[in-house]
């Protein structure tokens, strides 16, 4: 499977169904939250490895709860969808055509209102978890993150409760997000190039850290025999890899 191939609409729907199913931890991200989370990771000039970010997809609050898959085949399939989704977000941001994935809410007058709260919450989770390069933005350019903070943090929600025209403010915030993402991509340009040069200088490392890297299903539980191949791509048997206590590849 080509790990850089963008997900189809049906595959995005499939991934959302799985992420919101009863087999996932209660605090698992939904597809809009995941989209925001991946946007923050893609903007981060430091490469965040799958072994670092996957646990927080399953358990957004603590990064500890594990998903349970019906089979190794399903686990491998979902992992591939996640890798492709991340790569597509990274590519879209780099190409300047990123469009955040918001839920839509139909209004009484027939119009649509976008619910960007989940997306912004996922984005800010990615900021706070891997905050190295974000500290400077929060301190010197808080306006770059203003719409995400407003719609995706408790502080922002408290501010909205005191707002006289909340609907207008929310609409203006989510309409500015795509432009803010483009601005942040430009802001991190020099740092991103520096990090890429470092990776290129490391023997045996794929410069992008994307296709070709081996990733693991952190804490994943599989209803399958231990003699089957682990879905993380290591080539080892399950019992020698992710079927043992938490493994980072």
Where are the chain's structural domains? 9-134+177-240
Contacts of 244 (CB under 8 A, 6+ apart): none
pLDDT of residue 196: 82
What gap in Å lies between CA 48 and CA 73, rounded to an integer?
25
Give the CA dihedral 30, 33, 38, 44, nearest 10 degrees.
-150
pLDDT of residue 96: 94
- Each residue's pLDDT, cut to its tens digit, for the chain (249 residues) gives 566 778 999 999 999 999 999 989 999 999 999 999 999 999 999 999 998 999 999 999 999 998 888 888 888 999 999 999 999 999 999 999 999 999 887 666 766 677 899 999 999 999 999 999 999 999 999 999 999 999 999 999 999 888 888 888 988 999 999 999 999 999 999 999 988 888 777 765 554 444 444 344 545 554 444 455 554 445 555 445 544 433 332
What gap in Å lies between CA 49 and CA 6, rounded to an integer?
19
- 3-state helix vs strand vs coil in the chain, percent to 5: 55, 5, 40
User: Considering the entire predicted model, what is its pTM?
Assistant: 0.81
pLDDT of residue 244: 41
pLDDT of residue 12: 95
SS3 222: strand
pLDDT of residue 172: 92
CA proximity to 11, closest of 76, 58, 78, 56? 78
Helices (H), 114-165: 117-129, 134-140, 146-152, 154-161
Task: List strand residue ranges (DSSP E) for the chain, in order.
Answer: 68-69, 103-106, 112-115, 221-222
* Tokens linked to 200: 């290129």
DSSP 8-class letter at 108: T
State pLDDT tens for residues 7-47: 999 999 999 999 999 989 999 999 999 999 999 999 999 99
Tokens 């995005």: give the residue: 12
């Amino acid at each position: 499977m080509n790990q850089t191939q963008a997900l189809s609409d049906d595959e995005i729907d499939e991934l959302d169904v799985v992420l919101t199913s009863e087999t996932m931890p209660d605090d698992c991200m939904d597809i809009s939250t995941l989209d925001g989370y991946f946007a923050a990771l893609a903007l981060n000039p430091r490469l965040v490895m799958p072994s670092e970010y996957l646990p927080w997809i399953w358990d957004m609050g603590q990064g500890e709860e594990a998903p349970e898959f019906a089979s190794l085949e399903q686990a491998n399939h979902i992992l591939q969808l996640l890798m492709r989704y991340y790569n597509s977000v990274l590519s879209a941001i780099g190409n300047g055509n990123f469009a955040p994935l918001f839920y839509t809410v139909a209004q009484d007058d027939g119009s649509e209102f976008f619910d960007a709260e989940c997306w912004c919450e996922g984005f800010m989770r990615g900021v706070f978890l891997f905050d190295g390069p974000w500290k400077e933005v929060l301190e010197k350019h808080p306006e770059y993150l203003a719409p995400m903070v407003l719609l995706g943090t408790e502080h922002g929600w408290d501010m909205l409760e005191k707002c006289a025209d909340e609907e207008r403010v929310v609409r203006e915030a989510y309409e500015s997000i795509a432009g803010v993402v483009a601005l942040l991509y430009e802001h991190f340009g020099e740092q991103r190039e520096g990090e890429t040069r470092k990776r290129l200088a490391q023997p045996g490392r794929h410069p992008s850290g994307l296709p070709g890297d081996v990733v693991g299903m952190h804490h994943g539980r599989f209803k399958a025999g231990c003699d089957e191949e682990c879905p993380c791509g290591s080539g080892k048997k399950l019992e020698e890899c992710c079927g043992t206590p938490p493994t980072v590849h």
